[in-house]
Amino acid sequence: MEEVKEHPYVLECEAAKPLIVDTFKFMYDLDFLNPQADELTTPPLAMPRLPHEVIFAIGGWSGGTSKGCIETYDTRADRWVTINAEDPAGPRAYHGTAVLGVDGVEYFNTCRVFDAVKKKWNEIAPMHCRRCYVSVTELNGNSSLKSL
């Protein structure tokens, strides 16, 4: 954590400073947690993604058109499940997350988020640029999104 705190990217970013403070406070509280004490409040940054055993596959391209389907893969059950909750804004393809893509005609700068509990799509603040054709990967436990 000390290496992260002293990294130039963190030192030059005002938005990162409160996150570092919250993380240090949380780690300090963990070190001195008394089992009889009140419950420790976990900051949002430290909350695990739930369920971590499920992978979402959203949209895509098939048969010459973009698709709006949502499928999940449950690693515990080793099976795919289709979720009936298409995005009312329409289907997207060639995206790495649900925030970018193309409908076959237009590139998007809109950002949409899917609430898996409510099975509902919501629009959030847009990107500055329209984007399409991305790849997503994970390297040493860190997710990366790279525009091509």
80 burial via Cβ count (<10 Å: 0-12, 13-18, 19+): exposed
Token pair, residue 124, equals: 């959030």
Collapsing DSSP to helix, strand or coil, 105 comes out as coil
**pLDDT for the residue 45:** 63
The answer, yes or no, to whether residue 78 has pLDDT greater than 80, is yes
pTM above 0.75, yes or no: no
Q: 118 φ, ψ to 5°?
A: -85, -10
Stretch 1-26: mean pLDDT, rounded?
80
pLDDT above 80 for 52: no
Return the closest-CA partner of residue 134 out of 119, 121, 116, 146. Answer: 146
User: Would you give the DSSP letter of residue 30?
Assistant: H
User: Tens digit of pLDDT for each residue in 110-147?
Assistant: 777 778 778 888 887 777 777 776 655 555 555 544 43
